[in-house]
Structure 1
């Protein structure tokens, strides 16, 4: 429960007190003329632009949306691989062929691959973000390029390109 504090009155001289105008009652305003003269507007305003020669719209077409063709890193609705993220990693691992050079040299580790899922769900722009060499980088890129189409990501209700980064693990069994 809130409490209301008492504010003490301030004593001032008559000269220091501002007189507040009293708002007239409805009865006082009845029958009175509101304005006695026409007030002129701003005459310093520039003249309106010349619109001759411009085409007018028909009024039946909707306003066209400005579409940016940029690659997003995160969107309202992210792209979905058929089966989810676990299925995505499993599909990459299944299609990854361990390079003979890496097997001979006992090379193990993770290769981070960046790719773009386009508005049509297709995988493109496959690049190595962080590699381990010995042919593993190329094998990981080849595996990611074989992925099927994703359900595309959406931003503001429209399909857009989204960047993805996935780890590809190379381990000798």
Structure 2
């Protein structure tokens, strides 16, 4: 009877150790690392991209009046020649912020990456 319990305990320990060893740490996403993949195609890199977004935003009157703050996310396709197509709002915080973020992202000019890729860009609104 004791041998049976020892074998069950040993088997359980073996399989538990195997599953723990098989688990790996998840890869860091762009949101966790703070780097935007699309910034590599923007002249001047990420700092220049973020600065241009912040400089171009005209805070919507309704959002300013209601003190709306947050992050809007705009999704778009960057074509081979650097043009933006199929831009759409994935997340907005209200008060016209989504439309303003969409307008500002559509003004961006990227270098030609040579391939088509889909990206999402966060646009921050803060009073």
Normalised to the residue count of structure 2, the TM-score between the two structures is 0.66
Q: Following TM superposition, by how much is the alpha carbon of 1:149 offset from its aligned partner in structure 2, in angstroms?
A: 2.8
Between Structure 1 and Structure 2, whose CA radius of gyration is higher? 1
Answer whether contact 1:81 1:151 (CA < 8 A) is retained: no
**Other structure's SS at 1:160 match:** coil
Partner of 1:162: 117
Normalised to the residue count of structure 1, the TM-score between the two structures is 0.49
Q: Following TM superposition, by how much is the alpha carbon of 1:103 offset from its aligned partner in structure 2, in angstroms?
A: 0.5
Partner of 1:133: 94
Question: Over residues 19-46 of structure 1, what are the superposed CA-to-partner deviations in whole Å (9 max), with x where a residue is unaligned?
Answer: xxxxxxxxxxxxxxxxxxxxxxxxxxxx
Alignment gaps of 5+ in structure 1: 1-77, 153-158
Q: Following TM superposition, by how much is the alpha carbon of 1:171 offset from its aligned partner in structure 2, in angstroms?
A: 0.5
Distance 1:109 1:150 in 2: 29
Which runs of structure 1 show a deviation greater than 4 angstroms over 4 or more consecutive aligned residues? none
Q: Following TM superposition, by how much is the alpha carbon of 1:83 offset from its aligned partner in structure 2, in angstroms?
A: 0.5
Alignment gaps of 5+ in structure 2: 1-37
Answer whether contact 1:82 1:151 (CA < 8 A) is retained: no
Q: Following TM superposition, by how much is the alpha carbon of 1:91 offset from its aligned partner in structure 2, in angstroms?
A: 1.2
Distance 2:66 2:78 in 1: 34
Structure 2 residue 68 is matched with structure 1 residue 87: no
Pick the structure with more helix per residue: 2
Q: 1:15-34 residue pairs with structure 2 within 5 A?
A: none
Answer whether contact 1:117 1:123 (CA < 8 A) is retained: yes
How many matched pairs?
90
